[in-house]
Each structure stands twice: as structure tokens, then as C-alpha cells.
């Protein structure tokens, strides 16, 4: 792979983080959801803007006294509560199904047991739940109070990784997750991965957008082989 500066890829990630920190500031969370709540939140947010999914999560949490109650809820009722999230009809089926599966396997709707599991095993376990793909599994482990050392990759990270030459165009979430996981320094902990995820995501939302990357305003332009002339 070619970069404008001669850096190994891990050094490049360190430099990317420094530059984005200077632009967006530290991304350290004030509070974390428990892992089941984060799972529900992540399922609602799939392909949906936070401005839509967060209110939907709050409506669900207000309507149901517990996640057990949501597990036993009819999909039509759930759908009416979570609309207008994307794929509301599917999510209204998958959410109760996933919660029932956790309850059936663990004897209760609780994911704290994943705190002690190997990260790859924990990812695979979560991905066995209905409607749970690699991104939802990763954010459940990394963004929740579990704080597991898992790098969550979303569409912004895939796009920027490809423009940067770190990923092939069309890379899927699984491969993207593995590729980013190889690039990050060994001494970055779960909070560091959380921070870098958000820094790159903000770059994707505000500068390196899908439609029109604003390379002239990008703090990474001297590093990026995909920059516009
Ligand atoms: S230089 Fe352009 S293509 Fe490269 S990361 Fe920045 S905005 Fe994206």
C-alpha cells in the first residue's frame, strides 16, 4: 500500500488519532448503558440516524417496565413504538426474539456474563441472536458498560478505510473489523478504541462524507492517497 508519508500502518493510526483529536477533541463517554440496553439501542440504530433511533429507544424504555416485558411484546405494538426507525417491521420482530433467546440461553435477560469471555467468542455469541450483525455485536461489547476491547466498524469507517488505502473498496463489516483490529497499537485499550471509532466517524459525517469529501479541509490530506487533487 502507498501513503503520501512513509509510515507503517500502526504508526499511521497513531497519527490519524492525534490529528482527529486536535480537531474534534477527546471522545470519552460520560456514562454507559448496560449491555442489554446497548444491544437494544444498537439494533434500533442500524441504518438509522441517532436523531431517530435515540428517541425510539427512549420510547421503548418508557413503555416497557423491563426488557422482559419487551421480550414478550407483540411485534405490532413494538413496531408502532419504534417507528420511524429504518426497517421498523423487521426490528419489531427481531428485538423481542433476541431478548427471548438471551433469556432462554442464560435464564434471564442479562449479558454481563460476556465480561469474562474471549472477545471473539463473545462477538460470535451475540451474532447468533436474530437481527444482530457484526456492527451491533461490536458496539454492544465496546460501547456498553462491558467496555470490551473490540473495535466497532461502521459505514463511515469502511468508506474512510478504503479511501485511505487501508481497506479494499467494498470491504464488508467482518473484514473491516479484522483489518482495523490489526492496525491499532496493542496498548490501546477499550476506551481508546471507542474514542478512535468516534473520531473517524465524525470525520466521515462532517468532512469525508459519502457524497463529497472535503479534502481541502481534512486534517489527514497529506496522509491520504484517496484525496482529491
Ligand atoms: S483527504 Fe479526502 S478522501 Fe482522504 S480522508 Fe480526508 S476527506 Fe477523505
Based on the fold, state whether residues 19 and 40 are members of the same structural domain: no
Does pLDDT of 30 surpass 80? no
Does pLDDT of 17 surpass 60? yes
- Out of 2, 165, 213, mutate this one to test ligand 1's pocket (max ligand atoms within 8 Å of CB): namely 213
**Residue 229 to residue 113: CA distance in whole angstroms:** 50
Query: From the alpha carbon of 224, which atom of ligand 1 is closest?
Result: 4
Based on the fold, state whether residues 110 and 135 are members of the same structural domain: yes
pLDDT score of 165: 86
Ligand 1 pocket by Cβ (under 6 Å): 160, 163, 207-208, 213-215, 218, 220-221, 224, 226-227
CATH number at residue 20: 1.10.1670.10
- Out of 206, 207, 216, mutate this one to test ligand 1's pocket (max ligand atoms within 8 Å of CB): namely 207
Among 143, 177, 197, identify where a domain stops.
143
Does pLDDT of 5 surpass 50? no
Based on the fold, state whether residues 71 and 16 are members of the same structural domain: no
Based on the fold, state whether residues 139 and 39 are members of the same structural domain: yes
Instruction: Give the mean model confidence (pLDDT) for residues 111-135.
Output: 97
- Count the domains in the chain: 2
Copy the grid coordinates of residue 197. 471509532
Based on the fold, state whether residues 65 and 136 are members of the same structural domain: yes
Owning domain of residue 46: 35-143
Instruction: Please report, rounded to a whole number, the percentage of residues in the chain having pLDDT higher than 90.
Output: 81
Instruction: Give the mean model confidence (pLDDT) for residues 103-109.
Output: 97
pLDDT score of 8: 79
Cα distances (Å, whole numbers) of residue 168 to 118, 163, 173: 28, 9, 12
Q: How far apart are the CA of 136 and the centre of ligand 1, in A?
A: 26
Does pLDDT of 34 surpass 80? yes
- Out of 4, 224, 229, mutate this one to test ligand 1's pocket (max ligand atoms within 8 Å of CB): namely 224
Q: What is the DSSP string of 102-128?
A: HHHHHSSS--GGGGGS-HHHHHHHHHT
Amino acid at each position: 500500500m502507498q501513503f503520501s508519508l512513509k509510515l507503517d500502518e500502526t504508526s499511521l493510526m497513531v497519527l490519524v488519532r492525534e490529528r482527529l483529536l486536535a480537531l474534534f477533541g477527546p471522545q470519552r463517554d460520560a456514562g454507559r448503558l448496560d449491555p442489554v440496553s446497548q444491544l437494544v439501542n444498537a439494533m434500533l440504530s442500524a441504518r438509522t440516524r441517532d436523531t431517530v433511533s435515540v428517541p425510539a429507544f427512549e420510547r421503548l424504555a418508557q413503555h416497557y417496565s423491563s426488557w422482559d416485558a419487551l421480550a414478550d411484546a407483540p411485534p405490532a405494538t413494538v413496531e408502532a413504538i419504534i417507528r420511524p426507525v429504518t426497517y421498523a417491521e423487521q426490528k419489531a420482530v427481531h428485538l423481542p426474539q433476541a431478548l427471548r433467546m438471551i433469556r432462554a440461553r442464560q435464564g434471564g435477560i442479562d449479558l454481563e456474563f460476556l465480561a469474562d469471555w474471549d472477545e471473539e467468542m463473545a462477538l460470535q455469541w451475540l451474532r447468533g441472536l436474530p437481527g444482530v450483525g457484526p456492527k451491533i455485536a461490536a458496539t454492544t461489547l465496546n460501547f456498553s458498560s462491558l467496555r470490551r476491547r473490540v473495535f466497532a466498524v461502521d459505514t463511515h469507517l469502511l468508506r474512510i478505510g478504503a479511501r485511505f488505502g487501508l481497506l479494499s473498496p467494498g470491504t464488508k463489516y467482518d473484514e473491516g473489523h479484522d483489518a482495523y483490529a490489526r492496525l491499532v497499537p496493542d496498548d490501546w485499550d477499550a476506551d481508546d478504541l471507542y474514542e478512535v471509532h468516534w473520531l473517524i466517524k465524525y470525520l466521515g459525517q462532517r468532512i469525508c462524507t459519502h457524497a463529497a469529501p472535503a479534502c481541502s479541509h481534512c486534517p489527514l490530506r497529506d496522509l491520504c492517497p484517496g484525496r482529491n487533487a
